[in-house]
Amino acid sequence: MNSTIRIYIVALVILFIGAVAIEFSKPVPIDWSRNYNETLKSPYGTYIFFNELKNLFPQSTLEELGVTAYEYFNERYNWDYDEYEVDGTFVYIDEAMRIDDISAQELLDFASFGNDVFISSSYLPERIKDSLNLELSNHYDFTGTADLLLANRRSTGDSITIERGLNNIFFSELDSLNTTVLGYQRFSKENKINFIRVDHGEGRFLLHLQPVVFTNYSLLKNNNKRYTERVISYLNETPIFFDSKNKKRLSMSQSPMRYILSKPALKWAWLLGLISILIFVIFNAKRKQRIVRIIKPHENTTVAFTKTIGNLYYETRDHDNVIDKKITYFLEFIRRNYYLDTQILDEKFMKLLALKSGRKPAIVNKLVKLIAHLRAKASCSEEDLLELNRALENFYIS
């Protein structure tokens, strides 16, 4: 190796080390995204609030929910006693409440059984707004600074001024019979309602429209934590179920087959392979298929036949097939006895079924939601089969 090459190598090494040193010496950029993640210490994370909940409610337990509200609470619903096996307060904090209708209905059911649901979000699901008779409005021409006040006269000294992360969204229509106003927001000297309590069944919803007050940035600024403490003081000293932003991914999304089908080239290779195997089996079976002996079937009674089929399904663990047949037979029972269309299992269908069958709406709603959930699952377990069987028996004998 001559001296010129050595010089070039040394120069490249020095340049590489210099570039690495410059890169590592740069300050870490601040993440200003509105993530509302309880594990992040960024300005719009909720790390401080989540960890302070344990101090604000020392007598309560705090549990992070890594699954949807429907998956968590439905699994803890006792069909035999028609009640939840857990009670407490569900807490959700985010810029927008991004949940499906099934989870929204589960929260409505959970509250109706005497529990609390606390939501701090600028955008609420339509299912919750419709069920609680609420309307929201948005003024886009706000200045960006707002005063947040509480309706309780004892808390007038705890009002705060917010400059970042605001939305001028407020409650424009309320159900006056079941709603109590707890707080306001003031833009341009005009008070608008942004914090309410709505009685629902035996429980209640606490709805707050400025989630920014629970972020790290807000809690560390001035004395804003006093306002946040006042808002949280409306919660009862019961177990807290905190909706985590770090949801567990479904195993289906990480399966090899899903990856293969997501890539066009791999998908076509997979299909071509299946077609080739199918053609080979068809033509090869014609040449090599053995003569099938005719075996006289044994006589069997209806009960013995039923037991045989039941044992067959049990040994093969074909839970999906059994669940599919149970759902099919149940829907046929509905069509034959109540003359209802079972193509679309929506709110209208559940109401008509409850009226015609004379069953409690809660039992009907739980059963129909369970059927929709099981149909959507990629693979069902034995626990799913047992839960469906209990729900069907509860419907038939109630």
* pLDDT single digits (tens) 345-395: 888 888 998 898 888 898 989 999 988 888 888 888 888 888 888 888 888
Structure token digits, residue 274: 């299946």
- Residues 49, 214: contact at Cβ < 8 Å? yes
Contacts with 387 (C-beta within 8 Å, 6 or more apart), sequence order = 79, 370
Asked if residue 311 has pLDDT above 80, the reply is no
Please state the domain extents for the chain: 47-243, 255-294, 317-398
Tens of pLDDT along 223-261? 889 999 999 999 999 999 999 988 764 334 445 766 666
Give strand pairing partners of 78.
83
**Pair 127, 108: CB distance under 8 Å:** yes
Place of tokens 């699952």: 377
C-alpha dist (Å) from residue 366 to 122, 222, 391, 398: 29, 47, 8, 14
According to the CATH classification, is domain 47-243 in 3.40.50? yes
Q: What is the pLDDT of residues 147-180, one digit of tens each?
A: 999 998 776 667 888 888 888 899 999 999 999 9
What is the reported pLDDT for 235?
A: 95
Tally of helices (H runs) and strands (E runs) in the chain: 14, 13
